Structures are given as structure tokens and as C-alpha cells.
Structure 1
Amino acid sequence: MRFLKGAMLVIATMVVALMVRSHGLVAEAATTYAVDMTGLPAKQQTEAKAVMAIWTNTLQMPTLFSGNPTDPEAVNVTMMWSTDGVASPGADDPLGLTETTTLGDKRTVVITLYQREIERAFAKTAYMKRHDLVVSVWEHELGHALGLQHNTTNEHDIMYPRNLGPTQRITGWDLQNLPFTVKPSVLSDVSDHSSNWLDSQNVSNQMTAWLAIPAKVPSIFYHLIAGLLGMVTIAIVATILLTRRSVVSAEQRAKNFASLK
């Protein structure tokens, strides 16, 4: 009986130890990413850092992008800014492209954003400022670098294949499809955030969309409005002057008539 109790105690201790160890492995399983942005212009570096902050804050993983390039466990990510555009220009050219290569167990990712295509897309849209457009493209491509594919079922997801504006964001689908584990509380926060349209981020996104519209309306529209207002102003002033002149003429005729008497 003592032997049986002792054996059960040993087994229980081993099970607990394995559970603690497994829990520790899960907590440390998230891959770190070593990001190289030295090839980016200063403005694009600022935008790229803003995007990394978005992913870091959303996932609540402050060390996500603190990987060392020499660490065999880290994923090397190189961020590029191309002024040449894609090789074969077309109507649906990608604004950005993420390419992944694997050498042994080492994964390397190259993200390229195409300035020409971004400028073309910006000229056709009226839903965001240029900075916000570039940030959203970086955010989408960095999602690919983290291991996400396209989400074709939710156009509000940042991983939707097309850029549709500031209402696109990181969703619970993204968190569930990452190749590493995130905290349950993060998934809950993102789900609540996505469903609450009175959320401050949603309100901010909508305001950004509306404020961006005047800046994107063709200048000829404002010229026409200015011309129309000018014509209306001239007409009003002319009417006032003509009316005043008629009144003065009537008063003068009345005075002349009175003097004749």
C-alpha cells in the first residue's frame, strides 16, 4: 500500500511538472522577428515603425520584433520601398508584395511596397489620407510576414485581399490563424473592439474617412464652386447697386417735382 501511494505521488509530481513545462513552452513559443528597414527612406521608416507598434500593441507582445538576425530561431524580415513599380503594370497591380523563403529551418521574409501603385491607388480613392493608406498596406503585408494568409470573407479584416479603407483592422480571425499562440484576453479584446462601432478607434476611423474626402476631391470642383460663389456675389452686389440707384433717382425726381411747384 505504501509502495502504491508512493508510486501515485511520483506520477502526480511528474504530471504536474510536465504541465508546468508545457505551459512554459507555450508561453515562449512565439517567434521573434528581426526587422531590417535600413533600405527604407526616413518617411517610410516612420510608417513601418507605426505599423509594428500596431501589431505589437494589439497582440500585447512587446518583444515580437526584437529578434536578432543571428538567432536561428528568429525570422528575418526585410522591408523595401520600390519606386520602379511592378514588372508588368496592370489595372490590379499589388500595392505591396511579401515573399517568403526558407533555408533549412530559417525563414526569411522580404516585404516590398510599390510607390507608383500606391500613388495610383491614392489618386483613385477618397477614403483616407496618403499616410493612412501606406500604413494600412504595411500592416497588411506585415500580417503576411507573421504567417497570415488572405481573409476573403471579411472586407473589414486587414488581411482582406483589397485595400478598402480605414475600417479594415486586425480581427479575431487573424489572431486565431497566427502560427503562434496569443493570450485569450487579447482575442477577447479584439473581438469586442471589432464589434463595437462606438469604439473610439471606429469613430476615429470614420472621422479620418470623412476628413480625407475634401482633400481628394478634384481641384476643378473647388474652382467651379469658387466661380459660382463669385458670380452670385457679383449678382448680389449689382442688384444692391441698381436698387440703390433706382431709389436715388426716384428721390431726385421727387425733389425736382417739388421744386417746380
Structure 2
Amino acid sequence: MKGKAAAPQGKERTRKVPASLHQRILGDIQGNILSGRWGPGQRIPVEHELMRQYRCSRMTVNKVLTQMAQAGMIERRRKVGSFVRRPQSQSAVLSIPDIKAEVDALNLPYRFEILKRSKRAASRELRALLGTDESVPLLELVCRHFAGDQPFCLEYRLVNLQAVPAAATADFDETSPGAWLLRQVPWNVADNRIRATGANADEAARLQVKSGSPCLVVERTTRAAQSPITFVRLTYPGNLHELIATFTPLGASAPQPA
């Protein structure tokens, strides 16, 4: 009886091998993509190379690649091969996005770094960006956000220390300046400006793109009552980001939730 009981267990173990091999191949390819080892646009090993590497059937490899294509991680091109897809982020035009949430939506690890931080008086040019005539003290920040190992967005920010004095001593070690402000400071008006531009030499170096590459720039001034809180300029590589919005005709009422 013991011998009879052992046979089904052996068969069960055999049936589980293809599934674990599938997960192993899937995990290896995902790891290469998410770590940045295989960058956007790079062709991944073709089916017969993966079959030889993992000593498996073409069906197993095909199922893995199909699953990854459906998840949006790779793009399969007939008779050419499979390529790492370039992730594209979306954000709403009339909202203030959380950049970490944008990157999380791409299923990529997020991090940020502060490249510059200084206190300064408001020059005429900086007052114009904030939309104020007052010579207020400012915190000037330059921050770079990453999706995986790739720069995702370059942030230039001015914070009105007269309106938000706590920003002067905030460490921004765990939370980016934009996310910190969203959590700490109430606002009621945000002016948005959206434009396209070519990356200058400094922006290109920080975003790891060629000088002159098209970029999407979103500028926003946020206010509480009549007092400006912050000005921010977010510069995205143009092929990695799009803005979306829903509009209704003037005078038409918005659809009510069900």
C-alpha cells in the first residue's frame, strides 16, 4: 500500500515541474528588465535561445513571452523577435499627481534624489514664477525621480517659506518635496502650464537623453487663498509620458455616479 501511495505523489511532483520552470523563466526575464540590465527597446533572447538555455519546450517559452506581452512588459514582433517595451506614464491634466504613484502604476521600483537644495531671496524672475510681487524667502530644490534605473522626471521647485516655514527644516529623506507638500499644506488653486521643449545640455545629462530630445514640461503654481505655496516645473522625456483629461461641453452637467 505504501508503494501505491508513493506513485501518485511522484506523478504530482512531475506535473508541477513545468509550472515552476515557467515561473523561473518569467522571474529571470522580469528581473533583467526591472533591474535595467535589459533597457527599453532592447531585444531579448529569441525563443530557440531560451529553449536551449532552460532546456525546455518551445511551448513553455512561448507561454512566458505571451504572458509578458499581455502584461505590457515586452513587445512581440512577428519574424523579428521580442523587445523590452518602453513604459509610458499617464497623469490627469487637472490634478496634482504623485510621481511615486505614477511609477508604481508602471510596476517599476521608485526612488528619488535631491540634486540641489538652497534658501534664497526671491528675485524678480522667481517672483514671476510664483506669481507674487512680494520678496518672500524661498527654498529652491532640484529633484530627480527614477522608474527602475532610468530617470523618469526632473523636478525644479520653489517653496514659499513665508507660507510653508516647516519646509526649511524638512529632511525629504523618505518623502519627496512634492508628496510632502501635498500631505502638509492645504491648497485651493493650481495654475497649470503645459508645453513641449527640447532638453538642454543640463536636462539631457540628468535625464540621460540626448541634448535636444523632445520633453514634456508641466509647470504648476499652487496657492492657498491669495498666497502662493509652490512653483514646480516637471520635465519628462517626451516619449515616456502623456497627459489625459476628460471634458464636457460648456453648460453640460457631468455624469452622475451610479
Q: TM-score range by the shorter chain?
A: under 0.3
Q: Which has the larger radius of gyration?
A: 1
Higher helix share: 1
TM-score, normalised to structure 1, is 0.26
Q: Going by fraction, where is strand more abundant, 1 or 2?
A: 2
Q: TM-score, normalised by structure 2?
A: 0.26
